Amino acid sequence: MLSFDKSDEYRNPVMILADGILGQMMEPYYPTPYEKKDLPDKKWALTGCAGREPNVIKSLYMGEGELEYRNNILQEKYARMKEKEVRFEVVAAEDADLIVVAFGIAARIALSAVRKLRNDGLSVGLFRPITLFPFPEKQLYALSHKGRRFLTVELNAGQMVEDVRLSVDGRSEVHFYGRPGGAIITPEEVQEQIQKAYR
C-alpha cells in the first residue's frame, strides 16, 4: 500500500522485488494497520481543462535548454527520495565485528544464521535494505570502520555487493557470497561463509 502511495507522491514507478520462493511458502499473515497518506493534487492530470490552461503530457523535450531543465527537476526529486525514503532494518550490529547485508528471502535466511552464531559467541549482525533505491548508503557508511567486515549474501550473481562497497567507501572489507537463481541458500551455508569472512 505504501508503494502505491509513494508512486503517486513522486510520480515515479515503484518496483516491488519479490523472490520466487514466496510463491512456494505458506505461513500466517498478520496485517499491520496502514494509515492512508494525503496524496498531492493531480495538477498534471488531463481533466478537460475546465477553468485552467491545457496540460500537455510529454516525455520529449527538444527546445533549447528544456531537456537539461527537466533533468535537473528529476535530480532534485531523486535527492528528496534519498533524503526521505530510505528504509532498512538493523539487527545486533552495534557490537558486531562482521555485518551480513542481505535483502529478500536471503535476509531471512541470513537472520537465522546470525542468531545461531551470536548464540555461539560470534559478534555478528544483520543489515537488511528494505529499499534498494534509494539505497541506504549513508547508514552503511555510518556502520563501517577499520576492523569491521561486511558479508553481502545474495540470491543472484552479486547485484548489490557493488552498492555495499561504494557505500562503505573503503573503510571496511566487503566479502560476497551468492548463488544464482535455481537454488536456495541454507542457514548452514551462510554460517559457514560468515565464519570464513570472520577470521
Q: Are strands 88-91 and 124-129 parallel, antiparallel or unpaired?
A: antiparallel
Long-range contacts of 114-120 (CB under 8 A, 24+ apart): 114/194, 116/187, 116/191, 117/191, 117/194, 117/195, 118/92
Please report the pLDDT score of residue 126 as a whole number.
98
pLDDT of 181 strictly over 80: no
Q: How confident is the model at residue 49 (pLDDT cuts 50, 70, 90)?
A: confident
Measured at the CA of 59, the angle between CA 56 and CA 61, to 5 degrees, comes to: 90
pLDDT given for residue 24 in this prediction: 76
Domains, the chain, in order of start with CATH, read 2-16+38-84 (no CATH), 88-198 (3.40.50.920)
Q: Is the pLDDT of residue 69 over 90?
A: yes
Which sign, positive or negative, has the C-alpha torsion 103, 180, 165, 144? positive
**Confidence class for position 44, pLDDT limits 50, 70, 90:** confident
* CA gap 128, 130 in Å, rounded: 6
| 14-23, 177-186, 190-199: least confident range | 14-23
Least confident segment among 6-15, 143-152, 178-187: 178-187
